[in-house]
Every structure is written in C-alpha cells, then in structure tokens.
Amino acid sequence: MDATDLICVTAAGLYCAVGDFHIDPWRPVKRALITHAHGDHLRAGSERYYLAESGAALARQRLPPDAALVPLAYGEPVHFGTACVTLHPAGHILGSSQIQIQHGDRTWVVSGDYKRDADPTCEPFAVLPCDVFISEATFALPAYQWTDTPRVAREILHWWVTNRARGCASVLFAYSLGKAQRVLAELARLTDDRVYVHGAVASMVDIYRQRGIAMLPTKPAASLEAGAYAEALIVAPPSAAGSPWMRRFGEHRTGFCSGWMRVRGDRRRRGYDRGFVLSDHADWPSLLRTFRETGAGRILLTHGYTDAMCRYLREQGVDAAPLRTEYGAEE
C-alpha cells in the first residue's frame, strides 16, 4: 500500500498513523474509534473508545463496566495528532458512524457497515465527498437487491396473522441489536399488538426506547406460561434457533430477517420456514450509487464479496482494492 496512505491495515486493525488511532480494532489498542456496537466492530480491551453519542449506551451495555467511552456528536470535528476526525451517520443501526478523516488536503472516509434504505431507528446515511472511501462489501453481488422495507414489514405482519389464525406461534429471528428494533419500529406503523422478545433483544429495546424510538409494546418472552404463545409473535436472536428455550412456544413457525434470505438455498439450508429480505447493509445498487456519490477516486473494501466488487470496479476504471480485515458476514 502507498506509504502516504492515511489508513492502513495492521495486526490490530485499521490504523491511522498521523492521528495515532485505530478504527474498529480487533485487538486491544490505545485509542479505538468505533463505527458501531456490533461485536465484530466493538471489542473489549482497548484503553479508550470514541464513538457517536447516540450509540454510547449500546456500547456501554456491551463493554466491561470500566471501559472508557468518549461520546462524540455527529459533525463535531475532533483532532487526533495532525488529523481531523468527524463522525457522520451511516444508517446501519442506532449510533452507527462513518468516520471522516481529513489531513492536509486529503479526505478519507471509513464507512463501517451502512445502508441507504430508510430506517426509523437511526439517522440516515450521509454522503461524504472524499478521495478514498473505505467501504464494506457484505452483499456486493448483483443478486442482492432489496425490496422496499414497508413491503417486507407487511409480509411479516401477514405471516404473523396467518400463523395466528392457525393457532401457532410465530418466532421471528433477527439480530438482537439493530434488526430486531428496526422490525419492531416498522411493525409499529401497521399494528399496536404486543410482541414477546428474547432477553438479548429486550435489553437493546430498552436502550432504543430511552432514545425516544417508537416501537411495538414488548414483553419478555419468558413471561407467559409454556403453551400460551399460540397467537404470539416472538422476536429472538438467531442463536436461539433450535435451543431448549424454544420449547415453551409449542407449535410454531420460524422466520428470519436478513439480507441473506434473498437467496432461497441459504434459507433452506438454515431451515427456517420463512425468510424476510431485510438487511442493514447496502445492496449491490446502493454500494455502486454510494461510491459514485462520494466522488472517491479510490475504493478500498473491508469485508464481504470484496473480490467481485474490486474486479467490477476496476473494469469500470475505478481504482479499487481489498483490505484484509476480520469483520464478519453476520448482519
């Protein structure tokens, strides 16, 4: 990589030498700038965490109690060494940020995970003109194109109502931070009914509520007698699938909310009855649109289908390269 690059990959993660800080490091470092609170981006052990103020409570929940957090407002410039850093919304989950780094006349942006679709639970993605855009590529294949969210929300509601009519519970799997709250917020536009939530989802729902985000009323999934769930919608993390925890629901159908559900084989392999195509990542057209809108002359890709996207961009005359990071393909 170019010796004058503002950001490079080290053993600990993405590193900015002129500012002496890391972004979403996978090993403990002195100063960690955090794009969002998902486990593969926020790891314990660093001395100090800088992150968007709206995501601070989520990070506090996920880090050890003594972790040092420095909340920053979106758009507020902060100086690290000779670099000027500003956080801007990424539209991925509550408090998710893109990290803009300015040094001399150069501007680099690290996207973290992001999406362009509307989401009532977080601030919308901001387009930041830059020289180099470091992007995710989780769904960087043309097969991945999302349907609009209100339609998916109606599909979920219709599924719930149909199951209810048959007298069986609906267990909807969604990542406990972000996706679960987005589903509850989207459904709140269509119904007022109560939803039962897994403990991992509940603690995140509380934090979202404290931020004033409107969602369906929820109750802990453990609050009913076993077998009394015949008409309920239960939201749980995918890790709960197939666990003894599921037994209490009696006869039930399962659904999974994820961009991966765009491909039928993926859903069938995971054994869910229904797949709902709902992602917190950018789909193929959104990735391309974002690259175009930033005006970046160079695109670096951190995780996902990086090879395919790089080759495609290069064939379009765009300077693109993959970065070897340890971010995951989970949503």
Partner 1 sequence: MRRFAELFESLDTTTSTRAKIDAMSGYFRSAPPEDAAWAVYVLIGRRLKRSVGPAQLKTWLLEESHLPDWLVEETVGSVGDLAESIALLVPSAVGAVDAGGAAVDLPLSEWFESRILPLADQSVEERRRHIVDWWHALSYRECFLVNKLLTGALRVGVSRSLVTRALAEALDQPRVQIERALIGAWNPSAGFWEALTLNQGNLHVAQPYPFFLASPLDGDMQRLGERGRWAAEWKWDGIRGQIVRRGGVATLWSRGEEVITDRFPEIIAAAAALPDGTVLDGEVLAWRDDRVLPFAHLQQRIGRRKLNAKLLREIPVRFVAYDLLECSGVDWRPRPLRERRAALQDLLFGGGEVLTVSPLIPGATWDALAVARGEARGRGVEGVMLKDWDSPYGTGRQRGAWWKWKVEPFVFDGVLLYAAPGHGRRSNLYTDYTFGVWNGATLVPVAKAYSGLTDLEIQSLDRWIRSHTKEKFGTVRSVEPCQVFELAYEGIASSGRHKSGIALRFPRILRWRIDKPAAEADSLANLEQVLASSAHGA
- Does the protein bind partner 1 through residue 141 (CB under 8 A)? yes
Which one, 151 or 219, has the nearer CB to partner 1?
Answer: 151
Per-residue contact string for residues 15-54; x = within reach of partner 1 by CB under 8 A: ----------------------------------------
Of 176-205, which residues contact partner 1 (CB under 8 A)? none
Contact 226, 145 (CB under 8 A): no
User: Distance between CA atoms of 286 and 181, rounded to whole angstroms?
Assistant: 22
**Cα angle vertex 125, ends 8, 122, to 5°?**
115
| Interacting span for partner 1 (CB under 8 A) from 34-42, 70-78, 96-104, 257-265 | 257-265
CB closer to partner 1 out of 30 and 158: 158
176: tokens are 């406990």
Size of the site for partner 1 (CB under 8 A): 20
- Considering the complex, what minimum distance in angstroms separates the CB of residue 32 from partner 1? 25
Distance of alpha carbon 29 from alpha carbon 10, whole angstroms: 11
Does residue 23 contact residue 150 with C-beta atoms inside 8 Å? Answer: no
Structure tokens at 66: 């003594």
Closest CB to partner 1 among residues 30, 268: 268
* Alpha carbons 35 and 23: distance in angstroms, whole number: 7
d(CA 72, CA 56): 9
- Interface segment toward partner 1; rule CB under 8 A; list 10-18, 51-59, 116-124, 308-316: 308-316
Output 30 or 151, the one with its CB closest to partner 1: 151
Q: Checking DSSP bridges between strand 31-33 and strand 21-23, what pairing results, if any? A: parallel
CA distance 236 to 196: 9
Using the contact rule CB under 8 A, the part of the chain among 101-109, 140-148, 184-192, 288-296 near partner 1 is 140-148
Give the helix/strand (H/E) hosting 208: helix 199-210
Q: Which of 39, 104, 142, 227 binds partner 1 (CB under 8 A)?
A: 142
Q: What angle do CA 262, 267, 269 make, to 5 degrees?
A: 140
Q: Is 145 near partner 1 (CB under 8 A)?
A: yes
Contact (Cβ atoms closer than 8 angstroms) between residue 170 and residue 253: yes
81, 217, 271, 295: which one contacts partner 1 (CB under 8 A)? 271
Binding residue for partner 1, selected from 129, 268, 292, 321, defined by CB under 8 A:
268
Torsion sign across C-alpha atoms 188, 194, 196, 201: positive
Task: State the minimum distance, in angstroms, from the CB of residue 106 to partner 1.
Answer: 31
Among 116, 198, 262, 303, binds partner 1 (CB under 8 A): 262
Q: CA-CA distance, 279 to 275, in Å (whole number)?
A: 12
* Span near partner 1 by CB under 8 A; candidates 9-17, 72-80, 113-121, 258-266: 258-266
Report the interface residues with partner 1, using CB under 8 A.
141-143, 145, 253, 262-266, 268-269, 271, 273-274, 305, 308, 311-312, 315
